[in-house]
Amino acid sequence: MAKANRVYKKKAPVAKNDRVEADIIDLTYQGMGVAKVEGFPLFVANALPGEKVLLTVTKVLKNYGFARIQEIVKVSPDRVELQDKLALTTGIAPMANLSYPAQLAWKQRQVRELFKKAQLRVAVAPTLGMAEPTHYRNKAQVPAQMVNGRLETGFYRRGSHKLIPTDSFYIQDENVDEAIRVTRDVLQELGVSAYDEETGKGLVRHVMARYGKATGQLMVVLVTAKEDLPEKDAIVEGLRARLPKLVSLVQNVNNKKTNVIMGQENHLLWGQEEIEDQLLGKAYLIGPNSFYQVNPETTAKLYNLAKDLADLKPTDTVIDAYCGIGTIALTVADKVKKVLGVEVVEPAIEDAKKNAKLNGIWNADFIVADAPEQMHRWAEEGKTADVVFVDPPRKGLTQDFIEAVGVMRPERLVYVSCNPATLARDVKDLLAQGYEVDGRVQPVDQFPQTMHVEAVVKLVKK
């Protein structure tokens, strides 16, 4: 896929305000079309591969530039005309102008190209998608800002901190959209201020909503810059009256100058401290700070796939590295003898233990530890496992972790990845530890309308 950091060694053949006609040849990871003028890349919003466009150059840097469309001379057959242009303007859904089958094909090609770049010959299956690839997110964290003297919620225009107020976020569950909209209205009516990150004045930084699709339970979180919350009782009364699915209303205090959304201090304003949801027959308690997958439909596909690939047996001992609140561990626990979950985030392990108890699962132990360090510790102690599941952050596995796998020598390793680039890199390193890819790499569209793609692959000991 196209990148902005390729070096262009000649003087740029275009200047700002030039008008040029060009073919769109690719998409970047940000969803922008790529045109080339004498080899010089121009990145173009709302342009699709296969299109011929008339462009105006808007910015020229040393190695690349930006342009905007004046006219689409030849339209891609995969283009979708959007009624809601904000999906593209804000970057909420940067692929919303591309037909869904074309999105799935692009993601399969992305995974294939990354493995090819890593010089790995693997088969990549067609991307698993959704029947309804909009309004799927069960969680939203939406910024608040004062616009024309009143609190508004929305999303920032791409590349800026200019808020665009909106009522609909295209990829969020409609119950989440409603919760954000109603909360904004109540705060407006009560004259509550939004936080200004430049002056440090004002109160509400973000409005967060979480919705349990299986249970119909709704949580609203007001992220505030200070603990004092004026009109607290009126806020509670207004939201309870207008959001019948509301079961939890929380104030989260984040008084730091930071771009981190949530603070660690929570105050229950009304109702339950957590909501409950269900995934693959297991119940999960979800608090304001809990990590929980935002697309339950494809998460079920993802975890079912991982479970099936693992070829689990009743005598197996399983390690779930980077286990979070225990979703993979608890999904497989009733199929095996023992599950060990490892996660460095202590509140996540507390959630995992609560979820195990909630589901009556007693053969799962959860440990607060850095996964690579714990794997090394177990390897040094001579402990092993039949199966290791890994679901690491975007940076992928560390060399320490991969070396520990090489020492421990589990029969099967199932890698669930949110970043195919680090997946390809790590698979190459695991092959050097005596493993081989078993079957195809399976992309899964966890985030339709965006550039992100998950992928699952099974490796077995040679």
- More reliable by pLDDT, 462 or 416: 416
196 phi and psi, to 5 degrees?
A: -110, 115
**What confidence score (pLDDT) does residue 258 get?**
84
Q: What is the structure's pLDDT at 339?
A: 97
**Residue 6's pLDDT band (cuts 50, 70, 90):** low
Q: 312 and 318 in contact (C-beta within 8 Å)?
A: yes
Helices (H), ranges, 359-454: 371-380, 399-408, 420-432
Report DSSP letters for 80-137, one per residue.
---S-THHHHSSSSTTTTB-HHHHHHHHHHHHHHHHHHTT----BPPPB--SS-SS-B
Check whether 156 has a pLDDT greater than 90: no
Is 12's pLDDT higher than 90? Answer: no
Q: Is the pLDDT of residue 1 over 70?
A: no
Which of 48-62, 146-160, 285-299 has the weakest average pLDDT? Answer: 146-160
What average pLDDT does range 269-278 have in this prediction?
A: 97
Answer yes or no: is pLDDT of 269 > 80: yes
Q: In whole angstroms, what is the distance from residue 396 CA to residue 107 CA?
A: 19
Helix or strand run (H / E) with residue 412? strand 412-417
pLDDT digits (tens, 9 = 90+) for 392-407: 999 999 999 999 999 9
Supply the pLDDT for residue 9.
64
In eight-state DSSP terms, residue 334 is G
| 8 A C-beta contact, residue 433 and residue 403 | yes
The model's pLDDT over 59-94, given as tens digits with 9 standing for 90+, comes to 999 899 999 999 999 999 999 987 767 777 777 888
Q: Where are the beta strands (DSSP E) in 304-373?
A: 317-321, 338-343, 364-368
The pLDDT score that the predictor gives to residue 88 is: 72
- Dihedral sign, CA of 134, 140, 143, 149? positive
CA atoms of 34 and 28, how far apart (whole Å): 7
The residue written with tokens 């067609």 in the block is 126
Rounded mean pLDDT of the chain? 93
Q: Does residue 24 contact residue 49 with C-beta atoms inside 8 Å?
A: yes
pLDDT reported for residue 81: 85
User: Per-residue confidence at 456, pLDDT binned at 50, 70, 90?
Assistant: very high
Predicted local confidence at residue 176, as pLDDT:
97
3-state secondary structure of 63: coil
> Residues 85, 94: contact at Cβ < 8 Å?
no
Annotated binding site: 293, 322, 343, 391
Identify whether 418 is a catalytic site residue. yes
pLDDT of residue 209: 98
Interval 5-21 mean pLDDT:
80
pLDDT, position 105: 96
Predicted confidence at residue 2, as pLDDT, reads 52
Mean pLDDT of the 372-384 span = 88
d(CA 181, CA 138): 15
* pLDDT value of residue 7: 56
Burial class (CB in 10 A: 0-12, 13-18, 19+), 23: middle
Residues that constitute the known binding site for S-adenosyl-L-methionine = 293, 322, 343, 391
Q: Which of 418, 438, 439, 460 is catalytic?
A: 418
Confidence of residue 445 (pLDDT cuts 50, 70, 90): very high
Which band of pLDDT confidence, cut at 50, 70 and 90, is reported for residue 169? confident
Q: What are 93-107's pLDDT values in tens digits?
A: 889 999 999 999 999
Write out the E strands in 235-296: 246-253, 265-271, 275-279, 282-286
Distances (CA, A) of 394 to 61, 127, 308, 421, 452: 28, 19, 24, 9, 11
Average pLDDT over residues 329-355: 95
pLDDT at position 255: 92
- DSSP structure class, residue 441: B
Q: What is the pTM of this model?
A: 0.91
Token pair belonging to 324: 């979070």
- Percent of the chain exceeding pLDDT 90 equals 83
**Two tokens, residue 294:** 């935002």
Secondary structure of 205-221 as H, E, C letters: EEEEEEEECCCCEEEEE
